[in-house]
Amino acid sequence: MAENRILSGMRPSGRLHLGNYFGALKNWVKLQDEYECMYMVADVHALTTLAGSDQVSTIANDTHEMVLDWLAAGLNPEKCVLFIQSQVPEHLILSSLLSMSTPLGWLLRVPTFKERVRQLGEDEEHLPYGLVGYPVLQTADVIVYKANKVPVGIDQVPHIEISREIVRRFNRLYGETFPEPQPLLTDSPMIYGTDGESKMSKSLNNHVELAASEEQTSSKVRTMVTDPQRLRLTDPGRPEVCNVYSLQKIFNNSQISNIHELCTTAGIGCVADKKNLSDGINSFFKEFRERRIKLEEKPEEIKEVLKAGAEKARKIATATIEEVYSKMGLA
Ligand code: TRP
């Protein structure tokens, strides 16, 4: 059993933003030097909410754009395995087999499921079966590689908890087969969107893309909400309630005490402060963007990386399925 194998995934959401970077991708890059890492595009998971809608037509392109970000950020296919979930059908097989021993009640109680149902506003009769099974598929993703660690954000911890329960039950019924996956939490800063209110997210359109041009970055930053009580240039600002300030801590940390001083004494206005922030973001992502532009010219290479990744992944996954078939009494 691989002692230190990590699996994680992201649904294909297209170009990533600052929240995705600091919440996950930056950590993924670091982990590839410490563990055996498998990172996948969770395209089947995307179908749990998109199936049959217009949005499915963008899955392929969103996958491509997201993987460009992964590579430009430093995920290295020589160090980790990068692949698309649907190209390794063993995930689907294992999910289906695990569903035989997973009580429905567990799935209906997952907080993210209840949340989703509220968002979709569907009555229970019409909920897709696949949406209820989301955590079963996610468990299969992890354990088909017998991975024991899953880097996730705090909001995903209930999914890991239920994975552990699914694994315990399987092991009890069929004999010790899978390790119980552990969440690997990183304390990453919460990144708020340009509205200064909600978590940065593409669906709220309050995001700044990593791959944005310098001009696009500046114009997004210009729209950021700052201290709402600071109406005039001569009003002192309150950095502790200002989202621009919280981003300054990340992007211009070396000047942070000076920025604090200038803001609280009305020595600098929000417009100039934002200009400084977008300069900080632009210089932080300068090399990322240069690498990305080079990668954009080689779409075939991205396909190759993902294909080779899926081949490597399948070697491990098919062995697991063989073992599970035999333990479950299948031919
Ligand atoms: N549910 C995760 C998300 O929404 C994506 C995901 C799918 C995942 N399978 C996974 C994450 C397995 C960790 C491990 O972002």
Report the nearest atom of ligand 1 relative to the CA of 159.
Answer: 1
Mean of per-residue pLDDT scores for the chain? 94
Q: At 296, is the pLDDT very low, low, confident or very high (cuts 50, 70, 90)?
A: very high
Q: What is the pLDDT of residue 112?
A: 82
Average pLDDT over residues 248-276: 95
Shared domain check, 232 and 88: no
Q: Ligand 1: residues within 6 Å at CB?
A: 7-11, 42, 45, 138, 141-142, 150, 152
Return the structure tokens found at 43.
Answer: 């395209």
Shared domain check, 163 and 85: yes
pTM for this model (two decimals): 0.94
Shared domain check, 158 and 57: yes
Q: What are 117-126's pLDDT values in tens digits? A: 888 787 778 8
Give the residue whose CA is nearest to atom 6 of ligand 1: 9
Give the residue whose CA is nearest to atom 13 of ligand 1: 8
Shared domain check, 96 and 131: yes
User: Could you tell me which of 175, 173, 167 has the C-alpha nearest to residue 145?
Assistant: 167
Q: What is the pLDDT of residue 52?
A: 65
Provide the CATH number for the domain around residue 210.
1.10.240.10
Instruction: Give how many domains the chain has, as a whole number.
Output: 2
Q: What is the pLDDT of residue 186?
A: 82
Q: What are 189-215's pLDDT values in tens digits? A: 889 999 999 999 998 999 999 999 999
Range of the domain at 120: 2-191+299-328
Provide the CATH number for the domain around residue 51.
3.40.50.620
Q: What is the pLDDT of residue 119?
A: 81
Shared domain check, 74 and 117: yes
The dihedral through the CA atoms of 47, 50, 51, 57 has a sign that is negative
User: Could you tell me which of 240, 236, 227 has the C-alpha nearest to residue 265?
Assistant: 236
Furthest CA-CA distance within the chain: 78
Shared domain check, 126 and 46: yes
Pocket test of ligand 1: the residue of 138, 142, 149, 180 to mutate, having most ligand atoms within 8 Å of its CB, is 138
232: exposed, middle or buried (C-beta count within 10 Å: 0-12, 13-18, 19+)? exposed
Give the residue whose CA is nearest to atom 8 of ligand 1: 9
Instruction: Kindly tell me if the per-residue pLDDT of 1 is higher than 60.
Output: no
Q: How far apart are CA 276 and CA 57, in angstroms?
A: 39
Shared domain check, 170 and 88: yes
Shared domain check, 111 and 176: yes
Shared domain check, 275 and 136: no
Shared domain check, 28 and 50: yes
Instruction: Kindly tell me if the per-residue pLDDT of 26 is higher than 80.
Output: yes
Shared domain check, 255 and 149: no
Pocket test of ligand 1: the residue of 5, 6, 10 to mutate, having most ligand atoms within 8 Å of its CB, is 10
Pocket test of ligand 1: the residue of 5, 11, 90 to mutate, having most ligand atoms within 8 Å of its CB, is 11
Q: What is the pLDDT of residue 51?
A: 66
Give me the residue label for tokens 């491509």.
64
242: exposed, middle or buried (C-beta count within 10 Å: 0-12, 13-18, 19+)? buried
Radius of gyration of the chain measured on its C-alpha atoms? 22
Do the Cβ atoms of 10 and 24 come closer than 8 Å? yes
